[in-house]
Structure 1
Amino acid sequence: MYSTILATAAEGEEHNPLIPLLSEVVLSLVVFAILYFLVRKYVVPNFEKAYAERTAAIEGGIEEAQSAQKEAQAALEQYTAQLADARHEAAAIREEAREQGAQIVVEMREQAQAESARIVSAAQAQIAAERQQAIAQLKSEVGGMATELAGRIVGESLADTDAQRRSVQRFIDELEGSAN
């Protein structure tokens, strides 16, 4: 086929533009081989280097992301544990406060009861003292009235104080003996 093309080209016929010339094919193959060699020698290593760097960066990024995720998970677990501890501690503090509150209420009741007993005891002692004072005052008044009454009945004055006292004491003792 090529030989027919060459033969026709040599005869001076016009060249068919669809069929390439042998010199163009050879020249194209030589240029292609040179370009292939240059691309293979200089361009491909740069592409491979860039590809390796890109792969390493992606893998490093994935490892960093996994590491960060593990750290975040550990921090979350630590936070959760601290939160649980804080909740337990708060519950313990609340329980202790309740117990202390109940203890304070019991102590205050005991203090109030003791104070109440002291006040009642003091009031009873004061009442007893006032009663004794009232009895003593009544004895002296009753004694004076009895002496005066006896003096009127007898018709003479019982001015003798010792005799008066003895008479009054005897009268009061008789009254107390009949009251019991």
Structure 2
Amino acid sequence: MGPLEPNIPELILGLIVFFFLFGVLGKALLPRIERTLTERHDRTDGGMARAEAARAEAERIRDEFRAELATARHEAAAIRQAAAEEGAALVAALRAEGQQQRERLVDEAHVQLAADTVLAEAALREDVIALATELASRVVGEPLADLPGTRAIAEEYRGRAVN
């Protein structure tokens, strides 16, 4: 019996034990090994897939945020523009109101100045007549203020001097 001439009963017994162990390993141990490998594969590849999904979700949220930020910036620019236009309109309205008020005040001042001029001329005329009458009284040597025609003479002279 050498290696080339095997012992048949031992060979049969060895094959039976081999197939029995192979069957036990195939039924009990190989499913557990397969399950462990599947779990390990799921953890590695599934984790990468979940990470990729999380990354895609984060990018989607970031894009939404950027879009909302762009919209908010656009709205802020529109609000600033509207406020600037409103401010310019308000300034123009106040400027127009101030211009009208200034014109009204200037017109009132012109009217008041004309009235004051008339009053000053009348008062000055009275003073000139009184001074002229007093001077004429001193020149003549007699009181002329009591004469009824003194005022008429002064008015007549004034009319000639103005024309």
- Tell me, yes or no, whether TM beats 0.5: yes
Match runs of 1:135-146 below 5 Å: 135-146=121-132
Change (3 A) 1:161 1:38: farther
Q: How many residues align?
A: 162
Structure 1, unpaired ranges of 5+: 6-17
- Counterpart check, 1:172 vs 2:147: no
Shift of residue 107, structure 1, vs aligned partner: 2.8
CA RMSD of aligned residues (A): 3.3
Give distance in 2, aligned partners of 1:79 and 1:148. 99
Match runs of 1:45-64 below 5 Å: 45-55=31-41, 60-61=46-47, 64=50
Structure with the greater relative contact order (CA < 8 A, sep ≥ 6): 1 or 2? 1
Shift of residue 87, structure 1, vs aligned partner: 2.0
Shift of residue 139, structure 1, vs aligned partner: 0.4
Q: Which amino acid aligns with 1:41?
A: K
- Counterpart check, 1:87 vs 2:73: yes
Shift of residue 98, structure 1, vs aligned partner: 2.4
User: Is the contact made by 1:139 and 1:172 (CA closer than 8 Å) also made in structure 2?
Assistant: no
Give distance in 2, aligned partners of 1:19 and 1:81. 82
Q: Deviations over 1:69-93 (max 9, x none)?
A: 4433332332122122112112212
TM-score normalized with structure 2 length: 0.72
Q: Which moved more, 1:90-99 or 1:144-153?
A: 144-153
Shift of residue 51, structure 1, vs aligned partner: 3.6
Change (3 A) 1:130 1:40: same
Aligned to 2:58: 72
